[in-house]
Amino acid sequence: SNGITRPKGHKVSFHYNSQVEDMHFGKTHPMKPWRLTLTKHLVLAYGLQHTMETHLALPATSAQVQAFHDPDYVQFLSEVSPQTFKALCTQPRYQKFIPAKHDPPYDAVELGPFNLSTSPGADCPVFDGMSTYLFLYTGATLAATNQLLTSQSDIAISWSGGLHHAHKAEASGFCYINDIVLSILDLLHLFPRVLYIDIDVHHGDGVEEAFQRQPRVMTLSYHRYGPYDETGHRFFPGTGSLDDNGLKGTVGEHFALNVPIPSGIDDRQYKYLFESITSRAIDAYKPKAIVLQCGADSLGGDRLGQFNINIKQHGECVSFVKKQGLPLLILGGGGYTARNVARAWCHETALATDNGSNLPDKIPIDLIPRPQAFTGRAHGDGQLFPKFQRDHKNDCVDSELEMMVKRLEW
């Protein structure tokens, strides 16, 4: 025995299908589905599969995906591949989804309908096996959701999900199907109020937009946000300011909360923001279920992120939400430095099963072949808690963070 034990008093399930690992968005594209291979291997190496139920996910059906998405979009996604893209684009039913023009300097990317593209620099490329990938990550999240709805799990985990930018009839920011919106729509059949919390470094715009008229869902996103840079762009997607609080004049007003954060925030500052704002939101809203998007691009050293938080603090957000004792759906999301994504999500799997303090820094067993990322000297050789080196300049001022917390108090 390696000290890993089953949780007492609650049940955890893990929903996944390894087929998602084989997908490639493109050679230089930052989204790497093989970070999920690393995560799985690390979870297995620590023996965490013995502390929870592991479920093989099946693909979501088109009917399930249409609960939120436009039927034309769903049909396109179910048929699209690099081979079929051009022919599909010429079909009459899709013409109204082709954009007239878009912003420079991204006009190098030729866009088809639904913000999809086969150009190399596209955020949402059409790649081999894409349909399989999309319906599988969605299926995993919906199966996890069903476990909560049927009280078969208290915590359900879907690391391949959490794709918060997808819109009703448009892919955006590496996201095609919004598995989070679909999950919350299912949860609303049973739970009167659902709280969505998003610690990905990007604003959870797709989820917020879907529920902006809906008081039964409160969305709360923590994200990098700031003024326009030298190139005339904002940190993606550019939304989620402090005074973005749900659609004005509708019953959904005041049921969206946004915490815009300057670059370089450290553990102490993030803990302060997360715990004071999340606890106030929970006290005021009294949700009956929580969906937590755990995007790992908020970690220091992320290829796209600009925060300095460590795995320990990222995990403390998960623990803080878990200790509320509500049905909890844990999702993945962004995360672009693959070895750190795996470390964080493995650690958080351990936290969900009450094994957070039981993982030794060195991987205990060597039964399965392990990716080089966990053994090579170049990568800090198998440490679960690496010290992040590439720090961003910390532009967070404590007094300004305090003012933000006050302004978010109702």
CB of 198 to Ca ion, least distance (A): 4
Listed in sequence order, the residues at least 6 apart from 356 whose beta carbon sits closer than 8 Å to its beta carbon are 315, 319, 347, 350
Residue 159 binds ligand TV1, judged by CB under 6 A: no
Which partner from the list ligand TV1, Zn ion, Ca ion, none does 174 bind, CB cut-off 5 to 8 Å by kind? ligand TV1
Which member of 203, 314, 347, 392 is catalytic? Answer: 203
Contact 26, 129 (CB under 8 A): no
CB of 175 to ligand TV1, least distance (A): 6
Which partner from the list Ca ion, Zn ion, ligand TV1, none does 258 bind, CB cut-off 5 to 8 Å by kind? none
- Applying CB under 6 A, among 304, 379, 383, 405 the residue interacting with ligand TV1 is 304
Residue 206 binds Zn ion, judged by CB under 5 A: no
26-31: long-range contacts (C-beta < 8 A, 24 or more apart)? Answer: 26/120, 26/122, 26/125, 26/127, 27/120, 28/120, 29/125, 29/174, 30/174, 30/303, 30/304, 30/336, 31/174, 31/336
Residue 22 or 395 having the CB closest to Ca ion = 395
Judged by CB under 6 A, the stretch of 25-33, 133-141, 151-159, 378-386 that binds ligand TV1 is 25-33
Residue 297 binds Ca ion, judged by CB under 5 A: no
Distance CA 108, CA 124 (A): 14
Listed in sequence order, the residues at least 6 apart from 185 whose beta carbon sits closer than 8 Å to its beta carbon are 67, 68
CB of 82 to Ca ion, least distance (A): 31
Q: How far apart, in Å, do the first and last CA atoms of the chain sit?
A: 49
Residue 229 binds ligand TV1, judged by CB under 6 A: no
Which partner from the list Zn ion, ligand TV1, Ca ion, none does 123 bind, CB cut-off 5 to 8 Å by kind? ligand TV1
Binding mask 309-348 for Zn ion (x = CB under 5 A): -------------------------x--------------
Listed in sequence order, the residues at least 6 apart from 18 whose beta carbon sits closer than 8 Å to its beta carbon are 37, 40
Residue 47 binds Zn ion, judged by CB under 5 A: no
CB of 383 to Zn ion, least distance (A): 24
Binding mask 381-410 for ligand TV1 (x = CB under 6 A): ------------------------------
- Applying CB under 6 A, among 32, 35, 202, 343 the residue interacting with ligand TV1 is 202
- Applying CB under 5 A, among 198, 208, 209, 354 the residue interacting with Ca ion is 198
Distance CA 305, CA 295 (A): 10
* HSE of 88, CA atoms in CB hemisphere, 13 A: 23
CB of 351 to Zn ion, least distance (A): 21
What would the DSSP string read from start to end of 145-214? HHHHHTTS-SEEEETT---TT-BTTB-BTTBSS-HHHHHHHHHTTT-S-EEEEE-SSS--HHHHHHTTT-
Tokens of 159: 């690391």
Contact 240, 225 (CB under 8 A): yes
Tokens of 151: 């009280």
With H, G, I as helix, E, B as strand and everything else as coil, classify residue 331: strand
Residue 200 binds Zn ion, judged by CB under 5 A: yes
Distance CA 139, CA 142 (A): 5
With H, G, I as helix, E, B as strand and everything else as coil, classify residue 366: coil
Which partner from the list Ca ion, ligand TV1, Zn ion, none does 173 bind, CB cut-off 5 to 8 Å by kind? ligand TV1
CB of 105 to ligand TV1, least distance (A): 9
Place of tokens 């919350």: 184
- Applying CB under 6 A, among 121, 215, 226, 371 the residue interacting with ligand TV1 is 121
Contact residues: Zn ion, CB under 5 A: 200, 202, 295, 297, 334
Catalytically active residues, by annotation: 203
Contact residues: Ca ion, CB under 5 A: 198, 200, 221, 223
Contact residues: ligand TV1, CB under 6 A: 26, 28-30, 103, 106, 121, 123, 163-165, 173-175, 200, 202, 236, 295, 297, 304, 333-334
